[in-house]
Chain A
Amino acid sequence: MLAFFIRRFMQAIIVMFVISVVGFAIQDNLGDPLREMVGQVVTEAEREVLRDEMGLNDPFFVQYTRFIGNALQGDLGTSYFFKKPTLDVIFAKLPATLELVLGATLIVVLVSVPVGVYAAIRPQSWFSKCAMAFSTVGISIPVFLTGIGLIYVFSVELGWMPSYGRGETEQVWGSWRTGLTTADGLLHLILPSITLSSLMLPLFIRLIRAEMSEVLQSEYVKFALAKGLNPMRIYFLHALKNTMLPVITVGGVQIGTMLAYTILTETVFQWPGMGFLFLEAVNRVDTPLIVSYVIVVGAIFVITNTLVDLIYGLVNPTVKLAGKSA
């Protein structure tokens, strides 16, 4: 267990290192911090002195070490636009994005597992055929169009749902403002969550159905039948547990995709999360904020992927946690 954890941890560190180099390279090449700080009136000679003082003329490696040193102390620079530490700005927006991802994940899990399992057990039924047709169509609709469609139908035409923003939010602890505790906040969460889940839902229905059908063909399911077990036990214990193993792996990869698509969903619904913030930062050429976003998102990727691998190792007995996977 420990060896597996350490191995996985080392890998995470290496990936984080690569991300930090990318982040630093962006910072190094994108925009001149002096221009933001001192404006046009300062002469070239004075600028050179300032550059020296700030260490901007130091070799790449020295600058990078300084960058990492600061980053490890939680300092990724100050946003040009907000005039505040970038991490503060990003963490203020993080709850909105996480709540959106949570809502979408709940929808995906609660819908795709029962539908996928049912479609595998009764492939010929009317409902299964509809579900599969839905997932083929769903996979072909870009996320932002789903969002636009939902807004057009439920906000513009029917007027049932709000079309933008988070609605009413409450301070829970620290700087965490949540929309989950107010009715208005939950109402605002519905359409964006459905939109974000529309990306994964068809994929997972198809995946679970395919894996489950394959497992249902297996010898051990036949043997379970020959033992005279209750079909519910066979489907939901014997088969589902084996089905979920590849689903967990794919799910881990898809978390990254989901995070990327929060940018689209947040743009459509003007959801005040990290993705929306990032696009604003790009338009304002707010370099420190862009770099911080890249690093924070990179860290989220690495952490979730590591966690998913660990969960997989815990769920799957054939992975020897001490060594290589089967």
Chain B
Amino acid sequence: MSHASESVAIAQSVDAAPSRWEKFKESHYWHSFKKDRVAQISFTVFVLFVLAALFSPLLAPTDPYDLASIDIMDSEIPPSWSEEGEDRFWLGTDAQGRDLWSTILYGTRLSLIIGVCAVLLQAFIGIVLGLTAGYAGGRVDSFIMRCADIQLSFSTMMVAIIFLAVFQAAFGSELYQRLALIMLIMVIGIAEWPQYARTIRASVLAEKKKEYVDAARVMGFGSGRIMFRHILPNTLSPILVISTVQVANAIITEASLSFLGLGMPVSQPSLGSLIASGFEFIFSGSWWITVIPGIALITLVLVMNLLGDWLRDVLNPKLYKG
């Protein structure tokens, strides 16, 4: 549920006071949002996804984790609108006889949890290191940024695959399946920190030159206070833009790892593992097990990317390039 409280926290910080809400309604963001049809649709769809994830236990007709409620005789039933479909299963069932609609709801929930938590971790590590590098400068800076370069050149996917594969080989798949959720969050969270660190560092370097930072220093504030109270708030818009895109990327990474069998187990499928489990049945004509969760995944990632694009255009932060 941590992602839920997070989104609530963000929402509260945006409209904490009524005066702020008024200000927000007058602002350039709101105006551009009102004009941009794509942003509106993306936002609506995204909110629907978040609601579906939050309330999946209430929305889902069956509990896909409850083995007792699953009947293997129900396996591979096509969606209800096709000829052989049954009304009991709106989107059909997967190879194990689970209701696909319920499984997708729970899978979306898992994908979002992993995406949001991994990005929170990335942001935490990246912001701390980026602030330190930008503010301290000198050797500390060049060491941190060199590490970031090398880490980036190895690609998250490669690091994640090798790490998870070795972990799985070392501890056996049973233990692995129990720890999969945490492992995925950790791996994706740790591997992507350079994105944040570079952007934060770039904005810190830009902000550091400005007079208010000198003023704060002259007034005798410590460097920790200057960084967190003065510089950090000014780097929020790039952080917001990156975060949207990073959650989308984390969801894709998670799905890819799950597809390789290095992510969520089939008994507790995320969208990725659901697609993987359906892949072999595509050749026998049971397309829905793969295609429907696939569409859900693409839609979720697409609306987040579109929102990210919109935010980037509106906030127009100087992002780190390259």
Contact = CB atoms under 8 A, between A and B. Distances in A.
A26 B166 contact: yes
A282 B153 CA distance: 23
B249 to A, nearest CB: 9
Interface in A224-257: 246, 249-250, 252-253, 256-257
B282 A260 contact: no
B311 interface: no
B297 to A, nearest CB: 7
A301 B154 contact: yes
A133 to B, nearest CB: 10
A119 interface: no
Contacts of A145: 275, 294, 297-298
Interface in B151-179: 152-158, 161-162, 165-166, 168-170
Contact size class for B? 35 or more
Interface string A125-160: 000000000001101111111001101100010000
B122 interface: no
A180 interface: no
A285 B169 contact: yes
B290 A282 contact: no
Interface residues of A, number: 44
Contacts of B165: 278-279, 282, 290
A285 B297 CA distance: 31
A22 to B, nearest CB: 9
Interface stretch (A40-48, A88-96, A187-195, A261-269): A261-269
A112 interface: no
A142 B306 CA distance: 16
A294 B162 contact: yes
Contacts of B154: 256, 301
A175 to B, nearest CB: 25
B279 A148 contact: yes
Contacts of A139: 305
Given A140-B298, A278-B165, A256 B155 contact: yes
Interface in B271-322: 272, 275-276, 279, 282-283, 285, 287, 290-291, 294, 297-298, 301-302, 304-306, 309, 321-322
Interface of A: 15, 26, 29-31, 136-137, 139-145, 148-149, 151-152, 156, 163, 246, 249-250, 252-253, 256-257, 259-261, 263-264, 267-268, 278-279, 282, 285, 287, 290, 294, 297, 301, 305
Q: Nearest 6 CB-CB pairs, A to B?
A: A260-B158, A260-B157, A140-B302, A257-B155, A140-B301, A256-B155
12 contacts: A136-B302, A136-B309, A140-B305, A142-B297, A145-B275, A148-B275, A156-B283, A246-B322, A264-B256, A282-B165, A290-B166, A301-B158
